[in-house]
Structure 1
């Protein structure tokens, strides 16, 4: 047993000097060329011979003392110390929580011959006691070359023993108070012996250790983390090999959608669909039809709302953007008190959320600076931007979550909520993109972007049925093979047709989206730590097959389109641009260069999961939002069908017209039938001009409200639905922190509530009656620009004091109408009359009102007369008896 342990020590000596020994049959190992390992290696037959010799020499000693261990590392759960003159020792992952944590805040992602190495760290004391002054030490192994992807991951998680004996530098750490934090940095110049003696390019292990005591000697480390340093081939005399192509795609959408309640209220009370706010209307004299500059600087003649048409799959699409939708539903941005963009505002209390028609400043700079960044934009978002950015493609409108839609498997619920395929299909996306550019014939490559769940065959079929021929998967899509890394491109058959699937590299995508590769990878808890791992990983992938042409797809997260996320994306793009082993490519080249593997149905079923893995929490939230959206949309439809006055001219009646809005409901988009005979009180209100130019067709008014509701609902069901707005750190004042799905659903419900609540009963004063019958006046208010016809119901709590039950009343536009109920009382007392508004189908709506009734009966009524009559009768009888009674002699 001790002999075996001794042999392992000898074997590890050669492993750490010349890199790990690669089994001949391990397909996951890299295939090195001369440049991958510059350290002289002994012949293969020398290693076992020397190992056997060492074992024979050490075996007697080990048997004598019985103290030789079978492993060169200390027991799991302990952090090894080391003599100061021997450099860093091998450390193991600690399972117990350290009293302090070390987080990387800055590091040099690519080390060149002249760059040196810089690392900055934040040290936090989690204990209730002060930590004494200590020392921060950073070391590496200049000769070590990672042998496999597993080797890289094991080092990141602390599951492998790699001696880091070459010191890069150290820094003093002051005493840290309870629950306090300090920062320290180590700067290693380019001429440092450790850096200068690195003779092989690629990722190197880096160990950062925080020790107590200023000298760091004879003390157990308080905390240690593992990270990576990637040395480029600059200054190293090795043969150059072709760089590996990498395509970095960024979804450009937003979670900052907001509905302006003032704009909605103004529209619901005025119906002025021609109103344009001066601060949002763009000068179209030299721009496109939507106010967007086109290539020639002149308007191409496109309209602001495209016509309904057919996509290749035969599904209608609806891309009309009404004025109400344009003005009420807008992205918001942090703006300072003087109205300027709030990017980088240090005083968060002075920033508020305001509508914006531009990208965050940091996002604009990111796209302008890195021209190779592949921007895939949400066309609905692009239509809200004054100048849409340069883009490599478009995604589904509203960033609709197709994968969650398929995973839920309830198309009827989506349609009931107003979310039909016509809102998010590819043809509609192209129309919205043309409107955003102001170019009537401009097209773009369309990619269906993955949502919160995985792509399945059913999800791919749903995307294909709506015209999307190419989809992007953000995670691993493979059959468990261990070939060298490359972008997986599959041609997958679905019931709706073949779909091309581009699968991003999973590890790099996870890191690029701000996720660590494992919970135990403590060095990846910060952006700087993840970037160091990202660069190390790409270098290793290039070393796997340095002469093989490959193009790796990496997908950024939606947070890259925010002010804070753009900074991280900028750092990543800058590091990639500085890496000589990488060459940036684009989606078009990627799609053309990669040969798609045509799968059979059987292989497609094996390749893709059978379900989208929709979590129970997300399923519940999705069902809840759909139920609320369906109820609010039904309220709007009910208002038109059963509350809005019927048309006064012959023609299609209300919602029974054959012309629909393409949303799956029977609401007319337009009709010549007018249901507004005029507003007699407009002169008195001094708004006759607005009334005159207002459409006489209430159906068109309702149509715009429905379009706004459905656009809000589409954003509630987007791939950003679980993102809080504004993202952390973007703004201060005005931040709600609510999830986009919850906010948008509540906004849609609010629109329907304002519409229905615009017809209300005016609260009345208590009523006192002094007779058997009386009347109770009730006033109904209509705040809308079109007349309504409703029923008013009254029910009392008493059997002795009752009212008439129903009254039908028509209320003109923006007016009040009074109706009366008859009160009948058979005795004195009091009760409450409960008043409710009913639609023409006698279903209650709006807020009920209560009127208190008090009855004080007087003698002048019939019962009083009866009492008087009886009294007179008894009086007459008393007088008659007085005169006819027989008297005694003494009377």
Structure 2
């Protein structure tokens, strides 16, 4: 072995190691100084969010100044820059226009300043991390290309200024952009005192006007749920169902309705689908009645029922007892509701099960499949594999109930489309315009990852996405010529990314990351169960549904009975439920009105409709619907009421206590009235029973028995046929003052007094016997 040569090679390797270490140290020093390795001395980079790292900022004169991260954050400077509008896709003729609002929260006035835009038109994003770090302001990318600036007037403390920067299409710097795709764009505000704030966003160039061979488009289906949290109790419909005429055309679900604001928002979203044919609306069939002819691509489960929460809670009996049956959220029910809404019994629409707060586990997918949903939409927490590139959003998962096609939303694009920023540090994404700019850049980046691979992506908006936000995104997509906007049917028919065992392996196995409010939902179900129990008891044990169940009996009649348990009183003729009193109207009502038994089912259906809506949507909607169900049950119970005298004075051993039972319902009821006092010496008879006609009254009479003078309180309470109390109780104060009122009694008393006086007089005036 040649020892000198070996020694030389070792020395050479050592020297190379020293050089490598020196270069590494130089790069680290340069990074700390705020200079990117690829940047020249005149083009320092915008760098990390670390407070120890500086950012290179251009001053109003175009000179670079190193500003520390602490000086370039909203929390420290109190200045925010919000993107109000921005050209989302730059074409050969569009130019670039940015409108931003600068808010001064520094605690003092800001003098004149400058708002400027800088880009790196030669930079190509190489990874997801690269593009995300730029959005968060922690990237090491220089921005040497100045696109222009505008002056900003002084801003008083607490005020804001809105500025617009326009870069024309013939701008030399902008024209130098010779290739399509996303580029880093920095929007900088600098006040005259040096206060600086930067928003990090994107400039995305389309294919328009560029030379070269265009690569295939990326297939994207954009879906928006048409559902609402704006449900509230409908007081008018409740009153009409409880007191008016019910016919076969009556819709019990009308006891809850959308607010005007919610209704208008839904109509605005539906109008978008008419304007943009590529927008796939999947509608809750419950909201379609007021829209007219909806422009939808499918229907979801009625009431936006949370199937994932249902599977996680795993208590079908509790749901059933609360009024939420399996049939109420089945695909068939949704289709029938849709047909009724548009007035076409032969209409068809694809059923999609839209994901709720929970996770699409295998059990949840099987539950959906059993209910008739062969295709489900996964909006979150599905397929957590960290692939290097995006893939087709379609999977076919085998379940115990059969195969289910799962359409999996692409997480980053769906987050932006759903109105959320990709991270808390992505300041530019706090506005709709900033999110759209990021969406365009991100989707272009995905196309460039694998430009010749056929892929189909799903983008979902959220139920909280406004019509304005959705319209802004759809308008921008018209210029996104790297995308082919398709429909959900094409996505479902695409070659799946995974199927069989491979797909099963990607399904979340547990609900550990679920957002289901389990305790809150169970509490809501218990409350709904209580409301339904009250309604069921009223129908079964108060409402008259037997031989007297005719429209004539329902319209009125007379009550008759004896007191003291037999029911004494009389009722007056009742008018028809809609206020008509003529015999012709009564005859017409007799033909149209449903039976009392059917009306009783309407009451239960009204509760079920309310309960179903409580099991979908937000926590606020759940609370509102639970309260609406309780209100409906209470108003039903209070529709039968009692009145009596507030005070009764008794001057003999017995007296009468009349109690009037009123019924505002359109059908007769049979009730008991109980009376009990808090005294053993002043008591009433215990029960009285009566049948009260529809919209009428009946009177019962209790016997008061008195054995001494005094005062007591009698409490009157309605009871059903099972002797269970319902409705509001009534109290009567009974005062007893026993008196002797006939003349013979007075004479005896007077004679006794006279004899007593004479006896006393004789005792004091008679002569005593000597022996005494």
Q: Give, in angstroms, the shift of residue 553 of structure 1.
A: 0.7
Retained in 1: the 8 A contact 2:97–2:165?
yes
Q: Give, in angstroms, the shift of residue 647 of structure 1.
A: 1.0
1:172 maps to 2:99: no
1:127 maps to 2:106: yes
1:551 maps to 2:449: no
Deviations 1:647-671 (A, max 9, x none): 127xxxxxxxxxxxxxxxxxxxxx9
**Counterpart mapping for 1:598-747 below 5 A:** 598-600=499-501, 604=504, 607-611=507-511, 613-615=513-515, 618-645=517-544, 647-648=546-547, 679-680=557-558, 681-682=573-574, 686=581, 688-692=583-587, 693-694=589-590, 695=593, 697-718=595-616, 720-722=617-619, 739-747=620-628
Which has the higher mean CA deviation after the structures are superposed, 501-510 or 371-380? Answer: 371-380
Retained in 2: the 8 A contact 1:76–1:94?
no
Aligned residue number for residue 480 of structure 1? 385
Q: Distance in 1 between matches of 2:472 and 2:242?
A: 47
1:324 maps to 2:324: no
Q: 1:766 aligns with which of 635, 638, 647?
A: 647
Q: Give, in angstroms, the shift of residue 467 of structure 1.
A: 0.9
Structure 2, gaps ≥5 residues long: 1-20, 559-572
Q: Distance in 2 between matches of 1:672 and 1:185?
A: 73
- Give the paired residue count: 720
Q: Distance in 2 between matches of 1:581 and 1:520?
A: 28
Q: Distance in 1 between matches of 2:546 and 2:652?
A: 43
Retained in 2: the 8 A contact 1:648–1:675?
no
Which has the higher mean CA deviation after the structures are superposed, 683-692 or 399-408? Answer: 683-692
Aligned residue number for residue 675 of structure 2? 794
1:5 maps to 2:39: no
Q: Distance in 1 between matches of 2:747 and 2:672?
A: 39
Aligned residue number for residue 436 of structure 1? 341
Partner-residue secondary structure (3-state), 2:141: coil
Change in CA separation of 1:646 and 1:870 when aligned onto 2, cut-off 3 Å: farther
1:811 maps to 2:692: yes
Q: Distance in 1 between matches of 2:168 and 2:748?
A: 116
Q: Distance in 2 between matches of 1:272 and 1:646?
A: 15
For normalisation by structure 2, the TM-score amounts to 0.86
Q: Distance in 2 between matches of 1:90 and 1:495?
A: 61
Q: Give, in angstroms, the shift of residue 190 of structure 1.
A: 1.7
Partner-residue secondary structure (3-state), 2:510: coil
Q: Give, in angstroms, the shift of residue 263 of structure 1.
A: 2.7
Which has the higher mean CA deviation after the structures are superposed, 426-435 or 534-543? Answer: 426-435
Retained in 1: the 8 A contact 2:77–2:195?
no
Q: 1:76 aligns with which of 39, 52, 60?
A: 52
Partner-residue secondary structure (3-state), 2:712: strand
Q: Distance in 1 between matches of 2:153 and 2:301?
A: 53
Partner-residue secondary structure (3-state), 1:420: coil
Retained in 1: the 8 A contact 2:719–2:725?
yes
Change in CA separation of 1:156 and 1:608 when aligned onto 2, cut-off 3 Å: same
Change in CA separation of 1:102 and 1:13 when aligned onto 2, cut-off 3 Å: closer
Retained in 2: the 8 A contact 1:632–1:748?
yes
Q: Distance in 2 between matches of 1:824 and 1:72?
A: 92
Q: 1:820 aligns with which of 692, 696, 701?
A: 701
1:572 maps to 2:473: yes
Deviations 1:33-56 (A, max 9, x none): xxxxxxxxxxxxxxxxxxxxx9xx
Aligned residue number for residue 136 of structure 1? 115
Q: Give, in angstroms, the shift of residue 799 of structure 1.
A: 3.1
Aligned residue number for residue 286 of structure 1? none
Q: 1:368 aligns with which of 248, 258, 274?
A: 274
Deviations 1:765-805 (A, max 9, x none): 31112223222111111111222111212222333322222
Q: Distance in 2 between matches of 1:683 and 1:107?
A: 66
Deviations 1:722-742 (A, max 9, x none): 4xxxxxxxxxxxxxxxx3222
Deviations 1:857-891 (A, max 9, x none): 324499999977864663464466578x32699xx
Aligned residue number for residue 260 of structure 2? 333
Retained in 1: the 8 A contact 2:232–2:256?
yes
Retained in 2: the 8 A contact 1:674–1:697?
no
Retained in 2: the 8 A contact 1:110–1:231?
yes
Deviations 1:175-215 (A, max 9, x none): 222222211121111222321222332111111222121xx
Partner-residue secondary structure (3-state), 1:578: coil
CA radius of gyration, larger in: 2
Q: Distance in 1 between matches of 2:283 and 2:555?
A: 46
Q: Distance in 2 between matches of 1:866 and 1:515?
A: 97
Partner-residue secondary structure (3-state), 1:558: coil
Q: 2:714 aligns with which of 825, 833, 836?
A: 833
Q: Distance in 1 between matches of 2:376 and 2:65?
A: 48
Aligned residue number for residue 750 of structure 1? 631
Q: 1:379 aligns with which of 251, 265, 285?
A: 285
Deviations 1:127-154 (A, max 9, x none): 3322222222221111111110111111
For normalisation by structure 1, the TM-score amounts to 0.75
* RMSD after superposition: 3.3
**Counterpart mapping for 1:265-664 below 5 A:** 265-273=239-247, 323-325=250-252, 328-334=255-261, 360=266, 362-389=268-295, 391-475=296-380, 477-560=382-465, 565-595=466-496, 597-600=498-501, 604=504, 607-611=507-511, 613-615=513-515, 618-645=517-544, 647-648=546-547
